[in-house]
Structure 1
Amino acid sequence: MPATQMPQLIFALSVAREMAERELHADMLVILIDEALKEAKEEALRHGILVDIEEETELQ
């Protein structure tokens, strides 16, 4: 994945996680999104990209 798309991916995963948290019986989905988010952040750091997205953002 191009380095320029890493912040977009991390943001999208963060939003997806928030949406999944609001659904009933989506615990496994939240866990999988958390893993993907962790990997994406680590990959961004390996490319020298610092991405800081607040974990407790609110969807509007």
Structure 2
Amino acid sequence: MTVTDRRAYFGHPESWLDLEWGGLDAVDLVAPDIFQCSYRDRFDGLGRVCRAYGRTCPAVR
């Protein structure tokens, strides 16, 4: 995972995700080890939620 002042990028080879901060509806630390983002999918407009758990969570590094 890479976090900059413009975006967060989760570079998993099978399921990657590139989130620009301007496109997010919410960013929250929902538990001490769970980082959560909600956003609208740019292709279908539906709401989506992305969670990073445990050691993948930037707040616990």
Q: Same fold (TM over 0.5)?
A: no
Higher share of residues assigned strand: 2
Report the TM-score when normalising by structure 2: 0.23
Report the TM-score when normalising by structure 1: 0.23
| Structure with larger RCO (C-alpha < 8 A, sep 6+) | 1
Pair member with larger Rg:
1
